[in-house]
Structure 1
Amino acid sequence: MRLLSVGLRQFRNQARLDFVPTPGLNVLIGPNGAGKSNLLEAIAILCSGQSHRGAEVRQMIQDGRDEMALAAEAEGEEPLSIDLRQKRGRARQMKVNNRTVGRLREWMGRLPVVTFSPEDLDLVKGEPGGRRRAVNGVLIQVDPDYADALARYQRLLEERNAALRQIRDGAAKPSVLEPWDLSLLKEGALLTLSRQKFMDAFGPRVQSRQHGLSGGRDRGALVYRPSFHVPAEDPQAVAETNRRRLAELREGEIALGSTLIGPHRDDVEFRLDDEIAKARASQGQARTLALAWKWEERLYIKERLGREPLCLLDDVFSELDPDRRGQLTDLLTGGAQCFVTVTDLSAWGAADTTSAAVFEIHPAGENAIRR
């Protein structure tokens, strides 16, 4: 797929921005606060339904405004249009090819995307939430059933936590938890087993890529650490085992007003030479592992969907040393349509700009101006 145009209206600090990219490498330059990252975030939301920054879409309406809108046109085997509108206090509205859609699966994977931001450089040493988002970011695009299960699980988790707080405050009895427990366990088991299957296939790929990027000096590995116990590759067995655990944890959950086990507490452990990389890896080694993940993420999505994902690189070149800048440049030259943000071309280091289209983004501008 190729992105033809993007439009932003009242999105974050951007009252209006229109962008017509080229099919290959697009470099967006401008001062901090100009809206470069906002443009990439808008593309990510239109492609995957979520921000690579971890923020909620309803939080992105421009200050002083009541609604915002995003739109994109793309082409591939057939034309594709995606429109999103978000009003304050209302559910977002999505249209694909002028048809209203209500579920993630109805547009996930139509315009696949891989994002790489400074937060991803902390994938190895950062908090578990970032690694869960990385796993979800792949699976919601290649597995519609996973996207549906994740949406249901997140809704159930919010409702169950609200019920736990009501019980703690004396406004409800513990028995009200039973229907939420059953549903949460069912959806959580599906997510856990899907993640396990994905990591069994994806982990060795990242390990091999990391070994090559490090010049054979380091031997990395990825280990999925589910919060649920997994006695067998069977959703019912997983749900039953963890039903007993929920019962054992109930008193503590009520006191905290929070669900203590489930996929929302999973982690992915990066290892380096048989040691936990979070504690052992240097900054350079950790970033090589993160780069290996993103490289294989792009290839994995392409293999599963049969089309090249867009690549969004948000202000990462300035965070890398020359060797890793070169490796990232190699990733960009693989045929994907790519979008890179930098404050100026010097921040891109030694990367070749001869084949790139360079656009300037200005804080008060309404269009991305090509140089």
Structure 2
Amino acid sequence: MIYISRLALDYFRSWRHIVLDFEPGITLLQGANGLGKTNIVEALEVLSTGSSHRTSNMLPLVRRGENKATVRANVREMDVRGGSDMVSGKDAGSETNGDVVTYEVSIATKGANRGRIDNGPSLYMRDIVGRVPLVSFTPDDQRLVSADPSERRAFLDQAGTMLIPGYADCLHDFMQIARQRVALLKQLGERDGDLDLRQASLSGLEVWTGQFIDKGVELTRYRQTIVDEISPDFSDLYGALSTDGRGQEQDGDDFEERRVSGVRSSGGADEGISTSHAEGAGLGREHQPEHSAELRYVPSFEEVLSSELPQPEISRHFQRLYPGEVARGRNLIGPHRDDMEFSLEGYPAREYASNGETWTLALALKMSLYRAISRRRGEKPIVVLDDVFAQLDETRRGKILDFAAQQDQVFVTVAAVSDIPDMGRLRRHAVPCKVIKVADLQVFDTGDADSRGGVDAVDASNHDEGVA
């Protein structure tokens, strides 16, 4: 397994400087809102995927008044042989710690974002992302179902960086080509009276359009591969998550009423989600409810799905759209307009799903990504649970905790340790669990939290492991 043993932040969001040491198992980041606990797990997400679910613009990640933010993490690989429990640390065989690798990403207010491995030469950030697999569960996950397509494209891009080597390069190249093409379209819209400049721009547009199509087809096929891989698990997981502990379906009658009456969901009171079997593994079709869920990729270049050589047909679309693109100064088709569609019994979930169903769909999506990463990489990704307990009732919080207890390393943000419904669950699983009080960076075992409220604390920034 791999785990993050140390994290150092400089000028990241609210943090000026912070160094934290971690171990396998569960780490609770505890503190009131506004103290920066979510910023810590956001830094892990940026290190893993090169992006944040909280913003599409990287500039807010840099502390106000500074010109650069840096995230550095020591990542350790632990090889436990003889069938021992890697999460609990029980010694059932020989244990070998692999080399520690230090990954670093820097977000700049001006210029390119950079990366570095083991204090080596400066690299592009896209050369770093995807090396530390991570799946985060957050209150914003509902937006993956209900919000604009840009949210779902961002999910696909994060998934791609962890599942497909070369995805980050492909995405970067496509976006760069798209910007060049937009610049030419705007020039053509401004040069009606200059024939020479217009002809030069037209010639340039033809070249960039060809590159736009080729790179767009490559990106579309990558995204289709991602959806093809996660969609079977997604359907199975939704079936398991939408049944209660007795195998009874939740929210099914409510959906049937809305479907028959044609009434679309307004996202009312949170009905919650059942995670009865939500360990992220062993969730089979026997739990499939009557109202099944499906996931479908909806590419702008739809010809990619039906043709091995779609470029000529896509090129004809651009010829037809040329006047509109020049008038608007925009690329009217391409992967930047892709979507991913959730459906319940064939009906669009974005329009018909209740609040509880939306939560279940989003959770199934993230767990299907977790499965895909585990399957492709042969190791469990790091899991982040960012303020998710506040969104669920006590029973369902406990089921999420059971899922967390089976992972190699989990980061959980909570306002108070009491937000965790049953700490005894962790003890039954024999999972190591530490609490970091974000207000003063004190660290203590959950047993200390239960009995003494955090006495015998240790300063998290004074451990002896170095960060390059």
Question: 1:180 aligned to 2:208?
Answer: yes
Question: 1:170 aligned to 2:191?
Answer: yes
Paired position in structure 2 for 1:247: 319
Per-residue deviation, residues 105-149 of structure 1 (Å, max 9, x unmatched): 633432111112222122111211111111111111121122211
Paired position in structure 1 for 2:413: 341
- Which of these residues, 112, 116, 119, is aligned with residue 98 of structure 1? 119
- Cα distance in 1 between the residues matched to 2:418 and 2:348: 35
CA contact (8 A) 1:161 1:258 kept: yes
Per-residue deviation, residues 317-364 of structure 1 (Å, max 9, x unmatched): 2122345423422321222301111222343445646543111112xx
More moved, 224-233 vs 108-117: 224-233
Pair 1:87–1:271, CA change in 2 (3 A): closer
- Cα distance in 2 between the residues matched to 1:253 and 1:127: 22
Paired position in structure 1 for 2:22: 21
Per-residue deviation, residues 70-123 of structure 1 (Å, max 9, x unmatched): 111011143210122333312122101222353456334321111122221221
The structural deviation recorded for 1:67 is 2.1
Paired position in structure 1 for 2:12: 11
Paired position in structure 1 for 2:280: none
- Cα distance in 2 between the residues matched to 1:40 and 1:291: 18
Equivalent position SS for 1:340:
strand
- Which of these residues, 312, 321, 333, is aligned with residue 261 of structure 1? 333
Query: Which runs of structure 2 are paired with 1:1-371 in the superposition (5 Å)?
Result: 1-76=2-77, 77-100=98-121, 102-103=123-124, 106-170=127-191, 173=198, 175=202, 176-215=204-243, 216-217=288-289, 218-230=291-303, 237-350=309-422, 352=425, 354=427, 355=431, 356-362=433-439, 367=441, 369-370=443-444, 371=454
Pair 1:152–1:71, CA change in 2 (3 A): same
Pair 1:324–1:273, CA change in 2 (3 A): farther
- Cα distance in 2 between the residues matched to 1:135 and 1:185: 19
Pair 1:240–1:359, CA change in 2 (3 A): same
Equivalent position SS for 1:63:
coil
Letter in 2 for 1:106: D
CA contact (8 A) 2:221 2:304 kept: no
The structural deviation recorded for 1:185 is 0.6
TM-score (norm 1): 0.92
The structural deviation recorded for 1:167 is 2.4
CA contact (8 A) 2:296 2:341 kept: yes
The structural deviation recorded for 1:162 is 2.5
CA contact (8 A) 2:135 2:383 kept: yes
- Cα distance in 1 between the residues matched to 2:389 and 2:401: 9
Equivalent position SS for 1:71:
strand
- Cα distance in 2 between the residues matched to 1:274 and 1:368: 51
Aligned alpha-carbon RMSD (Å): 2.1
Letter in 2 for 1:227: S
More moved, 24-33 vs 105-114: 105-114
Pair 1:323–1:168, CA change in 2 (3 A): farther
Structure showing greater Rg: 2
Pair 1:260–1:328, CA change in 2 (3 A): farther
Per-residue deviation, residues 230-267 of structure 1 (Å, max 9, x unmatched): 255656x2222211111211221222221111111111
Pair 1:334–1:238, CA change in 2 (3 A): farther
CA contact (8 A) 2:296 2:340 kept: yes
CA contact (8 A) 1:19 1:368 kept: no
CA contact (8 A) 1:288 1:324 kept: no
Per-residue deviation, residues 280-337 of structure 1 (Å, max 9, x unmatched): 1111111111111111211210111122111112222212234542342232122230
Number of residue equivalences: 367
Letter in 1 for 2:436: F
More moved, 114-123 vs 287-296: 114-123
CA contact (8 A) 2:177 2:211 kept: yes
- Cα distance in 2 between the residues matched to 1:170 and 1:245: 23
- Cα distance in 2 between the residues matched to 1:338 and 1:296: 17
Paired position in structure 1 for 2:82: none
Gaps of 5+ in 2: 78-97, 244-287, 445-453, 455-468
Letter in 2 for 1:255: A
CA contact (8 A) 1:115 1:312 kept: yes
Q: Percent identity?
A: 30
